[in-house]
């Protein structure tokens, strides 16, 4: 329903970069006029030839051809001048105006000469003068228009007088001649004058209407651009109010939005009116004007002082408001509020204004709804992060402190425990330890699923450093199991962009698994560069993964049957977390394993500066 501007049409009406639309329009029109003039010149030449040789009237051929040639000559000059003007651009508005006047003046002169050559007051060519009058009305500003129009009958009257006095030669095209009959001359002049003014009036009305449409379209385009260039709700509302007032050329505008109960209209934005004038909250039940506008979905014209529906005309009087135009704001889900335009002393809103206001309201609602949707999404995101942060703290604290209290018992700080007591305490502490790991893992997983931004700032992470850090962390654990933990890192730096903590986590879980499920032998961590990818490999000589478990390996809470035999308690989340992280970084993870022989995990991540294709995933081989 609302007029949709498509980008291809916009440039023609846009005021955007340089001057007002009328300047660009003027240049376009002048170009058109010059093109038309070629036809006119041709018509003069051909018309003269036909009149002389076909109709056999005594028209002064040579002089007429001369006029035609003269028209061609000055049109060439105009064409060149137009080219230069186009380069200068609408930065010289006065030059455009002057250029237009010069063209029109020369045209009228040529017209006058032609009329003189073809019979003066008896000339049928007088009719063509009306076209020139129309052109002048369309192109020139209307300020001294009625004086300008008078020039035409004056010129013709002058020619008639000169011919009657014998000063100018009269070419007689009709028989008997009437040019010296004062009554005839007077009648023709009167008719011509009337026709001129009627033509001027018609042309000016059309021109005014066109200009107005242009201005409205430009204004609508401007307001669309202004309101849709931001998703921030308050900015959208402010711009909408401002655009409304500007485009309608009125004193001010205000927007009210319905609150969640649908019973109150809350002031949302205003422009051109004082703060006190726009009271914060309006009861819909008390404002029949707004109710009517919303119910009937149309614009209302209100006399701000006399309309009986106005509750406080005094407020309007004090503010200087005399007329109000009210339009409903109706969106996808129903009415969301009202848009009001305020006119000051002497301002009258027209039907065109009302239609235009409805158009502005329609597209304004779209912008408002978009901004509201965006705000809701932003809020949801904030709430999600807040929730996870709170849960993190609330879950961890009791678990951690329980562990500490049990550790006090276990380590003998409050006296020696009997072996039996010690055993029970140890078991309790181990379960709580597991609970802690589970909570940590679940929170990591939840954070990953929630798509939260990585905790740290995005920076260059040197993988060499991470690999060595992680291995150092597990050195003691490996040693106590009699395993060899080795690092083989390629020469040169390998870096990815992201959070060091995330990468650490990835590698941490893989190495922890490798050590946990390797009763003897070694664990090797390799880092290498593969084209635009960084490749991290964790290989162990552990229990391996049975073939039928491989497809489920990265599922949450999944533990392979042989894993449970080696380590009684495991969350089953470690690999799911790794996969989540790897995918978030746009990488891939693959596993190769044989039960009883060992396992190799391969993680590939795009190196900083390179972008892997978005679809990361887990591949399972062997």
Least separation in angstroms between residue 401's CB and another protein is: 4
Least separation in angstroms between residue 501's CB and another protein is: 6
With CB under 8 A as the contact rule, which of the stretches 399-407, 514-522, 524-532, 536-544 interacts with another protein? Answer: 399-407
Residue 610's Cβ-count burial label (10 Å; 0-12, 13-18, 19+) is middle
Going by DSSP bridges, is the β-strand pair 588-594/598-606 parallel, antiparallel, or unpaired? antiparallel
Q: What is the DSSP string of 98-126?
A: HHHHHHHHHHHHHHHHHHHHTTGGG-TTH
488 lies in the binding site for another protein (CB under 8 A): no
Nearer to another protein, 355 or 400 (CB): 400
Q: What is the DSSP string of 380-446?
A: HHHHHHHHHHHHHHHHHHHHHHHHHHHHHHHTTBTBPPPHHHHHHHHHHHHHHHHHHHHHHHHHHHH
# binding residues, another protein (CB under 8 A): 24
Q: In which element (H, E) is residue 273 found?
A: none
- Among 325, 319, 336, CA closest to 248: 325
At residue 572, the 3 state secondary structure works out as coil
209/114 Cα distance (integer angstroms): 33
413 lies in the binding site for another protein (CB under 8 A): yes
392 lies in the binding site for another protein (CB under 8 A): yes
Q: Which of residues 154, 408, 565, 567 is near another protein by CB under 8 A? A: 408
Q: Which of residues 411, 423, 488, 555 is near another protein by CB under 8 A? A: 411
393 lies in the binding site for another protein (CB under 8 A): yes
Please give the residues from 454 up to 483 whose contact with another protein meets the rule CB under 8 A.
455-456
At residue 338, the 3 state secondary structure works out as strand
Least separation in angstroms between residue 405's CB and another protein is: 5
440 lies in the binding site for another protein (CB under 8 A): yes
223/331 Cα distance (integer angstroms): 17
400 lies in the binding site for another protein (CB under 8 A): yes
Residue 190's Cβ-count burial label (10 Å; 0-12, 13-18, 19+) is exposed
78-84 long-range Cβ contacts below 8 angstroms, 24+ apart: 78/30, 78/34, 78/37, 78/103, 79/34, 82/27, 82/30, 82/31, 82/34
Site string for another protein, 504-543 (x = CB under 8 A): xx--------------------------------------
415 lies in the binding site for another protein (CB under 8 A): no
401 lies in the binding site for another protein (CB under 8 A): yes
Least separation in angstroms between residue 424's CB and another protein is: 19
With CB under 8 A as the contact rule, which of the stretches 28-36, 364-372, 419-427, 499-507 interacts with another protein? Answer: 499-507
At residue 367, the 3 state secondary structure works out as helix
Least separation in angstroms between residue 246's CB and another protein is: 46
95/35 Cα distance (integer angstroms): 20
Nearer to another protein, 344 or 501 (CB): 501
Least separation in angstroms between residue 428's CB and another protein is: 15
CA atoms within 13 A on the CB side of 88: 15
Nearer to another protein, 55 or 475 (CB): 475
Q: Which two tokens stand for residue 337?
A: 């509020």
Least separation in angstroms between residue 561's CB and another protein is: 30
436/398 Cα distance (integer angstroms): 10
429 lies in the binding site for another protein (CB under 8 A): no
Nearer to another protein, 263 or 455 (CB): 455
Q: Which of residues 162, 405, 428, 445 is near another protein by CB under 8 A? A: 405
306/323 Cα distance (integer angstroms): 10
Nearer to another protein, 63 or 608 (CB): 608
Nearer to another protein, 137 or 403 (CB): 403
Least separation in angstroms between residue 529's CB and another protein is: 25
112-116-118 Cα angle (round to 5): 115
Nearer to another protein, 411 or 530 (CB): 411
414 lies in the binding site for another protein (CB under 8 A): yes
Least separation in angstroms between residue 453's CB and another protein is: 13
Nearer to another protein, 209 or 455 (CB): 455
450 lies in the binding site for another protein (CB under 8 A): no
Rg of the chain over Cα atoms, rounded to whole angstroms, equals 43
Least separation in angstroms between residue 418's CB and another protein is: 19
Q: Which of residues 225, 396, 473, 526 is near another protein by CB under 8 A? A: 396
Q: Which residue has the tokens 């954070």?
A: 447
365/339 Cα distance (integer angstroms): 10
Q: Which of residues 177, 313, 344, 501 is near another protein by CB under 8 A? A: 501
Residues paired with 300 in a beta bridge: 326
Least separation in angstroms between residue 505's CB and another protein is: 7
446/577 Cα distance (integer angstroms): 9
Residues found near another protein in the complex (CB under 8 A): 392-393, 396-397, 400-405, 407-408, 411, 413-414, 436, 440, 443, 455-456, 500-501, 504-505
């Amino acid at each position: 329903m609302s007029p949709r501007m498509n980008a291809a049409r916009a440039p023609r009406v846009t005021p955007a970069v340089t001057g007002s639309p009328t300047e660009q329009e003027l240049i376009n029109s002048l170009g058109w006029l010059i093109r038309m003039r070629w036809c006119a010149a041709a018509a003069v030449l051909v018309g003269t030839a036909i009149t002389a040789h076909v109709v056999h009237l005594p028209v002064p051929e040579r002089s007429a051809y001369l006029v035609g040639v003269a028209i061609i000559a000055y049109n060439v000059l105009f064409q060149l001048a137009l080219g230069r003007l186009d380069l200068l651009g609408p930065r010289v508005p006065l030059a455009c105006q002057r250029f237009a006047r010069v063209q029109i003046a020369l045209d009228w002169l040529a017209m006058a000469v032609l009329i003189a050559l073809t019979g003066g007051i008896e000339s049928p060519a007088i009719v063509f003068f009306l076209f020139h009058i129309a052109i002048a009305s369309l192109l020139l500003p209307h300020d001294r228009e009625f004086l300008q129009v008078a020039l035409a009958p004056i010129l013709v009257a002058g020619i008639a007088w000169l011919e009657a006095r014998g000063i100018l030669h009269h070419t007689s095209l009709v028989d008997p001649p009437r040019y010296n009959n004062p009554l005839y001359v007077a009648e023709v002049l009167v008719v011509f004058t009337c026709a001129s003014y009627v033509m001027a009036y018609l042309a000016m009305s059309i021109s005014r209407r066109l200009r107005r449409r242009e201005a409205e379209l430009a204004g609508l385009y401007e307001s669309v651009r202004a309101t849709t260039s931001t998703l921030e709700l308050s900015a959208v509302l402010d711009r909408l109010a401002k655009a409304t007032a500007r485009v309608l050329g009125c004193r001010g505008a205000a927007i009210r939005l319905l609150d969640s109960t649908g019973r109150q209209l809350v002031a949302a934005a205003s422009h051109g009116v004082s703060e006190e004038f726009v009271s914060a909250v309006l009861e819909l039940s008390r404002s029949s004007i707004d109710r009517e506008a919303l119910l009937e979905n149309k614009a209302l014209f209100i006399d701000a002082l006399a309309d009986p529906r106005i509750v406080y005309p005094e407020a309007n009087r004090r503010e200087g408001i005399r007329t109000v135009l009210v339009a409903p704001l109706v969106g996808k889900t129903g009415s969301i509020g009202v848009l009001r335009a305020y006119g000051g002393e002497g301002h009258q809103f027209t039907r065109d204004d009302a239609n235009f206001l409805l158009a502005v309201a329609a597209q304004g609602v779209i912008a408002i709804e978009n901004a509201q949707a965006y705000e809701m999404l932003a809020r949801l995101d904030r709430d999600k992060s807040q929730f996870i942060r709170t849960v993190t703290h609330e879950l961890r604290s009791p678990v951690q402190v329980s562990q500490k209290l049990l550790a006090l018992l276990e380590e003998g700080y409050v006296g020696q425990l009997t072996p039996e007591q010690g055993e029970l305490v140890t078991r309790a502490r181990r379960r709580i330890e597991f609970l802690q790991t589970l909570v940590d893992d679940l929170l990591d997983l939840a954070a990953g699923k929630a798509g939260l931004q990585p905790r740290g700032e995005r920076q260059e992470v040197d993988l060499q450093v991470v690999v060595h850090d992680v291995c150092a962390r597990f050195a003691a654990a490996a040693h106590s199991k009699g395993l060899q933990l080795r690092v083989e890192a390629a020469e040169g730096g390998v870096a990815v962009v992201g959070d060091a903590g995330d990468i650490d986590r990835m590698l941490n879980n893989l190495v922890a698994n490798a050590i946990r499920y390797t009763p003897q032998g070694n664990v090797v961590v390799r880092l290498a560069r593969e084209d635009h990818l960084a490749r991290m490999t964790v290989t162990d000589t552990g229990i391996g993964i049975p073939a039928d478990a491989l497809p489920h390996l990265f599922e949450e809470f999944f533990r392979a049957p042989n894993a449970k035999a080696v380590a009684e308690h495991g969350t089953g989340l470690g690999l799911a977390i790794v996969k989540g992280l790897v995918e978030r970084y746009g990488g891939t993870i693959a596993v190769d394993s044989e039960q009883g022989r060992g396992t190799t995990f391969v993680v590939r991540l795009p190196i900083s500066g390179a972008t892997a294709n978005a679809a990361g995933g887990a591949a399972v081989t062997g």
